[in-house]
Amino acid sequence: MDLKNCTLCPRSCGVDRTVGKKGICGMSDTVMLARAALHMWEEPVISGSTGSGTVFFSGCALKCVYCQNKPVSRGSVGKAVTVDRLCEIYFELKAKGAANINLVTPDHYIPQVADSLRLAKSRGLGIPVVYNTSSYVNAESLTALEGLADIYLPDMKYMDSCIAKKYSLAPDYPETAKKSIDTMIKQAGKPVFDGNGMMMAGVIVRHLVLPGNVLNSKKVLRYLHDTYGDSIYISIMSQYTPCTNLEKFPEINRRVTIAEYNRVVDYAYEIGIKNAFVQEGEAASESFIPAFDCEGV
C-alpha cells in the first residue's frame, strides 16, 4: 500500500501520489471530502431512526458512465482534511446522533482511513464503522482495515465482464469484486444486530439494477446466494437515476421500470434469498442524492 507507487486498486497506475501527482482515481495523497452529514436513506439497519454518519470521499477509480455522484467521483468538489480532522469528524457525527460512521468510496485513501480509524477507536468512538465501497479495490489493500471496519457495504455491480467494460471501463470488475467481497466477509463475519435491530457487524452486498440488464442482475444474485447463502444480506436497489451525458448509451438513459425491478426481486425469492432489502419506486429520485457542498467538513 505504498502511495509512492500506488496499487490500491486494480488500475495499478503506479503514480507517486505523495508528491501531489494524481492517480486514475483523480486524487493525490491529500484526503478530500465532499460531505459529512447524517443520511437517512441507507438500508434501515444502517440508517435506523437517527441516521448514518456518512463521510463522502472525493475521487473514484471506477469510472461508471452512469455515476449519480459525478462531481464527487470525478474529484471536482471537495475540501482537504488531515487524518486528525477526519477523526474529529467521526466524533462530530456521533454527537449528532449518528448510528454509525459510514465511509463512502474511501478505497483510494485506505492508508489514511486506517490511521484515522485507529485514532478514533483509541479515543473511544464506540459506534460501528461502515465501509461503503464499489468493490473495485484489490483484496490485499483491504487487509489494512481488519479490526477497524465493523460492517462492509460493498457493491456487486456486474457478473458480465463485457457490461463492466462498457459502463465502467473495468472488464476485470467481476473477478475483482468477488475477491474483495470474499475478503470483507472473512473480516466482518456473519451479521450481528443489537436489540433495536441495528446492524453492528456483517456484510450487506448492494446491487443496483440497471435498465435493460435484468439478466446481469439475476447472475449477480445467483452468485451471491450460491456462494454465501444466508451469511450475508443483499440489498436490491431500484434507485438508478439517469445522469447527463448518456447520449452514447441510450439503452440506460432511462429509469428502471417497475416490471424490470419486480422480475429481479421475484427471482431473488425464487432462488431462496431470505436476507434481502428491496426499494419502493420513489427511491429512483434525485432527492436521494445529497448536496455535495462540503457540509460538515
In a domain, 8, yes or no: no
pLDDT (tens digit per residue) in 221-260: 999 999 999 999 999 999 999 987 899 999 999 999 999 9
pLDDT (tens digit per residue) in 122-147: 999 999 999 999 999 999 999 999 99
In a domain, 4, yes or no: no
In a domain, 205, yes or no: yes
Contacts of 90 (CB under 8 A, 6+ apart): 53, 55, 101, 116, 120, 125
pLDDT (tens digit per residue) in 92-124: 999 999 999 999 999 999 999 999 999 999 999
Contacts of 269 (CB under 8 A, 6+ apart): none
In a domain, 73, yes or no: yes
Nearest C-alpha neighbor of 157 from the set 180, 139, 140, 141: 180
Average pLDDT taken over every residue of the chain: 94
In a domain, 3, yes or no: no
Burial class of 242 by CB neighbour count within 10 A (0 to 12, 13 to 18, 19+):
middle
In a domain, 71, yes or no: yes
How would DSSP label each residue in the chain? --GGG--SSTT-----GGGT---TTS--SSEEEEEEEEE--S-HHHHTTT-EEEEEES--S---TT-TTHHHHTTSS-EEE-HHHHHHHHHHHHHTT-SSEEEES-GGGHHHHHHHHHHHHHTT--S-EEEEE-S-S-GGGGGGGTTT-SEEEEB---S-HHHHHHHHS-TTHHHHHHHHHHHHHHHH-S-EE-TTS-EEEEEEEEEEPPTT-HHHHHHHHHHHHHHHGGGSEEEEE------S--TT-GGGSSPPPHHHHHHHHHHHHHTT--SEEE--GGGSSGGGS---S-TT-
Full domain range(s) for residue 224: 31-288
In a domain, 21, yes or no: no
Structurally, the chain folds into a number of domains equal to: 1
Model confidence at 287: pLDDT above 80: no
pLDDT (tens digit per residue) in 185-229: 999 999 999 999 999 999 999 999 999 999 999 999 999 999 999
The grid cell for 289 is 442524492
Global pTM reads 0.96
Q: In the chain, pLDDT over 90 holds for what percent of residues?
A: 87
**CATH for 116:** 3.20.20.70
In a domain, 257, yes or no: yes
